[in-house]
Chain A
């Protein structure tokens, strides 16, 4: 019976996240427009200035749009992960996080379920983006769309766990702007989302190293290879290990001893 309880709770948490997402049309449109603007405007502008050599998983010369498409998939998940953490800070300020945390289930399970729910939303966004991108000649092989799914689950969980971890440090909603400047932008720009590693090495060894060890780079590479039906073992293990680290720290952060008990009560 206990297993049934776990299953029902997870289903409920996922349903809530999907209901919320579908009710917030602006959020859906924003999540879609952001990467599409990058694809249609940024990539089109840079097409002529950036030549991409043949690098795995690609087997031929590719257009810049094709190169950055997986990076933009990563961007969707990165923003979604951060948005989830923003909503957790908001939920905690508004109190609805309490409803989740006083449920008769272990906290690690509740937080992991919330993470899975956020990842499910991000996967919906990604496939919608890829559908639009297909009409813009981003046409990976059909099986790539299938292989992409498990990669998206892993990368989405890792980025969501990072967001959850950040939400344990952010005490007020107003502080969230800092996340934008100090997490999202550096992670995105110091990664392989926009330029391949070898290109970075040419200009800066430091940037190259930072991008190489940036977990977001590895998530993007995992997605890039999966989209072309290939498995990048290094990226897979790197993403998996960072997921475990971020999630463990986030769960510890939400434990009563180290988490909410330091925040001031008001009654």
Chain B
């Protein structure tokens, strides 16, 4: 385990039957680093997230969170992990606060701690006054904010977000993108953000371009742009790395 890595993915290969979903995936994310996992639909992003959260079993290779191997020290590793899944995972018939209390209990927070942390996270996102409303009554953007608040309740050091802005309107998307980047800076959380929306990438971010189960490029934004001939921005670099003609 290299020092300072909050998330370490080493030599991960995964297949569904004969179909290889991920091949030889390697990367590290440090504390306070925001890494955007860019890839078109079907690139293997969700599979990678399922492996990091141990919903799938790592056949070969190793994944470690804060130095704890997810395979061997699963519960210790998961303690420091916050996740926002691609699919909405809130209970629509329960209130915002009930949903959050449920999550806090799964992470062993006391009632007092839970109430305090829920207030902090919801206030930070400006939705504390709506805490007693049923989730069903919230719009898509607010539901996502609740999910982000939930993922942060237990103060994780690694936050995974699997396409959290899909289906949201532009202002909601912008608010979430800005919020997560601010979080990276202020809380020093390591973020792995999967998306296929290039405008969600900030200049200071790290980028991993995933396509057909392989990492095509990785590094800070300007390095990734530099790796693609004639590319002047992330969008052009992304098109280069995911263009069939440029595949090795």
Contacts and interface: CB of A to CB of B under 8 A. Distances in A.
Interface of A: 1, 4-5, 8-9, 11-13, 15-16, 19-20, 23-24, 94-96, 98-106, 110, 255-257, 260-262, 264-267
Contact of B194 (A4, A106, A267): A267
B94 A16 contact: yes
B105 A15 contact: yes
7 shortest A-B CB distances, which residue pairs? A267-B46, A12-B105, A5-B108, A95-B87, A267-B45, A265-B47, A103-B106
Contacts of B55: 98, 101-102, 256, 260-261
Contacts of A12: 101-102, 104-106
Given A12-B101, A256-B54, A264-B16, A23 B81 contact: no
Given A11-B105, A96-B90, A266-B42, A102 B53 contact: yes
A19 B95 CA distance: 10
B116 interface: no
B107 A103 contact: yes
Interface stretch (B72-80, B175-183, B233-241): B72-80
Interface string B99-123: 0011111111110000000000000
Contacts of B98: 16, 19
A102 B78 contact: yes
A267 B43 contact: yes
Contacts of A102: 53-55, 78, 81, 83
B11 interface: no
A28 B180 CA distance: 41
B57 A105 contact: no
A256 B108 CA distance: 23
Contacts of B49: 267
B93 A96 contact: no
B48 interface: yes
Contacts of A264: 16
Contacts of A4: 108
* Interface SS of A by simple majority: helix
A100 B87 CA distance: 14
Contact of A9 (B16, B57, B106): B106
Contacts of A99: 85, 89, 103, 106
A105 B75 contact: yes
A261 B106 contact: no
Nearest to B113: A8
Which has the most chain B C-beta neighbours within 10 Å: A98, A103, A104, A264? A104
A31 to B, nearest CB: 16
A256 B56 contact: yes
Contacts of B137: none
Contacts of A94: 87-89
Given A106-B75, A256-B57, A260-B50, A267 B42 contact: yes
Contacts of A105: 75, 106
A100 B78 CA distance: 12
A267 B48 contact: yes
Given A102-B81, A267-B86, A267-B162, 8 more contacts: A9-B105, A13-B105, A15-B101, A99-B85, A101-B55, A102-B78, A104-B106, A267-B48
B41 interface: yes
Which has the most chain B C-beta neighbours within 10 Å: A98, A110, A267? A267
Contacts of A260: 50, 55-56
Contacts of A256: 54-57
Nearest to B53: A102
A261 B102 contact: no
A267 B50 CA distance: 10
A265 B16 contact: yes
A262 B89 CA distance: 21
Given A264-B16, A267-B41, A98 B194 contact: no
A94 B42 CA distance: 19
Contacts of A103: 78, 106-107
Contacts of A5: 107-108
B44 interface: yes
Nearest to A266: B46
